[in-house]
């Protein structure tokens, strides 16, 4: 039987926009009506990712559905980023529940988003699957590190969830004008295929670096003498 984590880990969030975003989130949380709870915001974040996936799927027939993708990503930011802040501002934290639900929603939401992209024609299904696999590997390593080392990293190389949403929204808007881009003398390729390959490479490097670093740290801390 495995130990049950107590969620008493340190959240390490060193993204480019972290400080400005934190101030904004606290400002919003302090002004939300009491009727709105962190669970409402978490549900909004999940539904927004489902909406984004459906909008990507629909964009193969109606390109303006890409505007819905951008709006859905904004809603996802509002719900997913604000739920924990609201709980902390109101001093109503539920660490294990919050950690578990938040990251189950992240995994499900990413599946919805990449599923919609794979069906949209804007990303080759095999590349979408590769991004999903690489993302899940990084998630698994992060959750294991939170349990064994007590540090949960929310950003890598200055890029966190908010920065990724901005990049995805910018790419979605670009699709309104061009769906393919030239790549040297190799011809034209789907914009999101190039982005997906870059994402797979970045996630693979993140996984390897984090896994090696944490393995050596645990080895040093638990060396048998």
Helix intervals (H) in the chain: 18-29, 38-58, 65-89, 95-120, 125-148, 161-174, 191-221
Q: Is 160 exposed, middle or buried (0-12, 13-18, 19+ CB in 10 A)?
A: buried
Cα 164 off chain centre by: 7
What's the pLDDT score for residue 5?
Answer: 44
Q: What's the confidence (pLDDT) of residue 2?
A: 37
Per-residue pLDDT at 4: 39
Domains in the chain with CATH codes = 10-220 (1.20.120.1760)
Q: Phi, psi at residue 12, to the nearest 5°?
A: -105, 110
Torsion (CA) 85, 18, 211, 105 in degrees, nearest 10? 40
Average pLDDT, 10 consecutive residues per value, the chain (225 residues): 49 76 92 93 96 97 96 95 91 88 94 96 96 96 90 77 92 93 85 95 94 92 80
Residue labelled with tokens 């459906």: 54
Residue 216 tokens, joined: 């050596």
Amino acid 8: pLDDT: 61
120 Cβ contact partners less than 8 Å away, ≥ 6 residues apart: 56, 57, 59, 60
Backbone angles phi, psi at 188, to 5 degrees: -105, 140
Residue 162: HSE in the Cβ half-sphere, 13 Å Cα cutoff: 18
Q: Note the pLDDT of residue 3.
A: 40
Q: What is the DSSP letter of 14?
A: -
How far does Cα 57 stand from its chain's mean position?
A: 19
pLDDT for the residue 74: 96
CB 190 within 8 A of CB 123: yes
**Per-position b or e across 11-40, b if 16+ CB within 10 A of its CB:** eeeebeebeebeeebeeebeebeeeeebee
């Amino acid at each position: 039987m495995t130990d049950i984590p107590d969620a008493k880990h340190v959240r390490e969030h060193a993204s480019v926009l972290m400080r400005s975003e934190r101030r904004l989130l606290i400002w919003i949380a302090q002004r939300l009506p009491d009727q709105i709870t962190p669970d409402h915001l978490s549900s909004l974040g999940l539904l927004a990712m489902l909406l984004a996936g459906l909008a990507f799927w629909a964009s193969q027939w109606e390109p303006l559905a890409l505007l819905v993708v951008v709006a859905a990503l904004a809603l996802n930011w509002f719900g997913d980023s604000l739920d924990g802040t609201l709980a902390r501002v109101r001093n109503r934290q539920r660490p294990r529940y919050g950690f578990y639900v938040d990251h189950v929603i992240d995994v499900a939401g990413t599946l919805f988003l990449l599923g919609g992209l794979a069906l949209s024609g804007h990303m080759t299904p095999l590349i979408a699957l590769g991004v999903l696999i690489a993302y899940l590997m990084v998630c698994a390593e992060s959750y294991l590190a939170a349990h064994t080392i007590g540090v949960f990293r929310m950003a890598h190389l200055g890029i966190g969830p908010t920065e990724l949403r901005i990049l995805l929204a910018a790419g979605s808007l670009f699709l309104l004008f061009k769906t393919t881009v030239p790549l040297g003398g190799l011809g034209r390729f789907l914009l999101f295929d190039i982005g997906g390959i870059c994402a797979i490479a970045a996630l693979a490097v993140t996984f390897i670096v984090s896994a090696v670093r944490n393995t050596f740290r645990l080895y040093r801390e638990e060396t048998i003498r």
